[in-house]
Structure 1
């Protein structure tokens, strides 16, 4: 089967991923993502579609010239000489050329006969190979293409010395069993490596990619966070971790950077990662149920896969406080803050936690500690950071800049910083004034509720983490979202520094 088989990972975040509706990356962001993908260990980066625009052409050129130490750079081209010449001109290591092969696309889009499409495919491969670089050929809409014709065209490009063929499920209509059978049939006829590119229209992109590999494919095309046209592509994190942890296959992915990479792409694209997303979501290793948290705190793989841990992907296990939280979890959370209530006090703390949760409120660590301090009759202590003033300058011709004044350990400090928006600038300024010297970093930022109207009140929850992996979350609500964000961050830092 797949145990110990080496599977190549082809990432198309910068090409198909950028085709996600509403996503547009700057040249610098593309370079940043390319470096991150190289750090992650991706084998091939599809850097873009150079013929599409001058911007895309220069971005691909820059990535190809970046000298990424472990990653091959690929450019996309139709089976047209001008597309291929442009890819070659920008210096890519591989050209990925494609043409529609299904009757529905061939007849209604490119309006070519089967014979014409076959000739165009072979000519494109010849042109690429004559240039001395690698070639991948895609039969676009392969899963809706007549099988005999599909194999005929794959054999023709193989004879033309194509290096690898790609089998795309372009509109995401394949069932996993069907994908297995298709790849097996192709693999029985073709001697060069097979790649697969699966779309997620029915939520089956990862399953179809895994079935393709089971049937003999040696390469999978993926994107970070499953980005891409319509419902997106096969997600890198889910595909890689399934291959490695469930199947026992090998990849070159440095899995400890998976979450870091997902969050970088989330920040640059503005497409938020849903909390329940496998592997990288905020709740991927979070537990609230009393039974679950008790088990996980005793032995993590009682209610986690075991073959995939949060540490493996650069994530952190979280115990979430709420109406389902048990005594064991709440005691552990309090002990981490050096709070040791009696059994009677603990029962009262749990009762108050559940009362708040029953009202639909999400509990933060700061909420829990405040309840515990009140029940135990303990003073909360003087905050390490006493916020005094926040000011922000922004506009259409001004880089958002924030200035924060605070008393830190009894000393007045002022810090300023910039950001991609006023909130980002303000949080960076707080981080400047406190986080850098304490090793504290923001790991979570969420706007939980916004009331209606022009005077809407925003509720912000922010989580921070220190060098030892300890995490604390806090909330704040304010009509000024910048101030709410700063207050939540300062509260969470104070709670962490005080415990």
Structure 2
């Protein structure tokens, strides 16, 4: 890349405008002589064009004359709006012969819009990153750029659109970046419907609230249940989970009332499919006779800077009490291990259930140590995944609820004694 803004040439490089042009020309020329294809990024181009358009264009022209295959206009500070990007790009493509590209940053939240505007103005290269990862507020999210160009403007690109969701998630995993469920096109909630009006309409005609088929991007449509949902949403979700029920069944309204009451206390069922299934099952069929937790005790012993955590759990299965003990690296871990150990003689499949996530969040932080907490526990077994929730002012009680619900879900859905 090279400088195209007078400010950077003088104040950052501490050189003359002529010398900067010489450096651009010599560098591009050298790389071409080495047999390389050169893509020249004009850093801060839009700032430079705004300040001194003649010089900014001269930098591009110099790189082109030296042999650059592409001239990329960079909005390095992310401070340009789509109308300006379109106007400037249109002018550049009209006066220079080399193909033009766009490199947009997201400091003002317009990197994707600016990239699309540049393409509409004649740019044929878009630089960005999957999921928008990048300096400061990030670069243009190529997932969104590709999605917009494909669905709104029918551009043909050498891209397998159905792999976008997979690629997006894969890169988050290897970079240890938390998933963005509301990411357009590929996010978990991109095609989800929570409001009662929305859910009812989508069940009748997907096109009512979905601008395209989510399968095009490897995503799926979903009905999400929350306090905003109506009976149509909840009945559809129950059927999706394998529970046969009519939307006019009075038990659906009963379940909906329970959900609204629990969400007022801090529960969030849109992220806790395991807990939602158990709530619906109990409303429709009564409490499943799987096991009951009678009590558990966890003891933490400190030996200097080393701790020993032991837990004893007592459960009742089919009228028979069984107990087990286990150690762990904390009270919850020890409880989890002891609970599975106690249940394994009757439900051996439970040994193959893994706890893959355990997230704790305070609900009313101003209450300090008296605050209620919300725990989301994520489970996995043989490729199947589910999440449960627990809420309490006692973190151990919230953990107990999430874990017990998680194992009951597994036994109902995937295992029999």
Deviations 1:58-88 (A, max 9, x none): xxxxxxxxxxxxxxxxxxxxxxxxxxxxxxx
* Structure 2 residue 225 is matched with structure 1 residue 321: yes
In the TM superposition, 1:86-485 aligns within 5 A as 98-145=1-48, 146-306=52-212, 309-335=213-239, 336-340=241-245, 343-363=249-269, 364-382=272-290, 410=346, 412=348, 433-434=352-353, 447-449=360-362, 453=369, 459-462=375-378, 472-476=386-390, 478-479=395-396
Distance 2:327 2:149 in 1: 49
Higher RCO, Cα 8 Å, sep 6+ = 1
SS at 1:369's partner residue? Answer: helix
**Aligned-pair Cα RMSD in Å:** 3.6
Unaligned runs of 5+ in 2: 292-316, 318-322, 331-335
Deviation at 1:459, TM superposition (A): 0.7
Deviation at 1:480, TM superposition (A): 10
Distance 1:218 1:389 in 2: 65
Q: Is 2:278–2:409's contact at 8 Å kept on the other side of the alignment? A: no
Deviation at 1:448, TM superposition (A): 4.6
- Give me the TM-score of the superposition, normalised by structure 1: 0.64
Q: Is 1:197–1:221's contact at 8 Å kept on the other side of the alignment? A: yes
Query: Which residue number corresponds to residue 14 of structure 1?
Result: none
Distance 1:328 1:170 in 2: 48
Deviation at 1:463, TM superposition (A): 7.3
Query: Which residue number corresponds to residue 312 of structure 2?
Result: none
Change (3 A) 1:170 1:474: same
Deviations 1:450-490 (A, max 9, x none): 775599956115377998xx975422465499988866754
Deviations 1:91-141 (A, max 9, x none): xxxxxxx12220121111111111111110111111111111211111111
- Give me the TM-score of the superposition, normalised by structure 2: 0.76
Largest Rg, 1 or 2: 2
How many residues align structurally? 366
Deviations 1:336-376 (A, max 9, x none): 32343672222222222222233342123344333334434
Deviation at 1:272, TM superposition (A): 2.5
Query: Which residue number corresponds to residue 34 of structure 1?
Result: none
Q: Is 2:164–2:217's contact at 8 Å kept on the other side of the alignment? A: yes
Deviations 1:257-308 (A, max 9, x none): 22222223333434434433322333212211111111112222211112xx
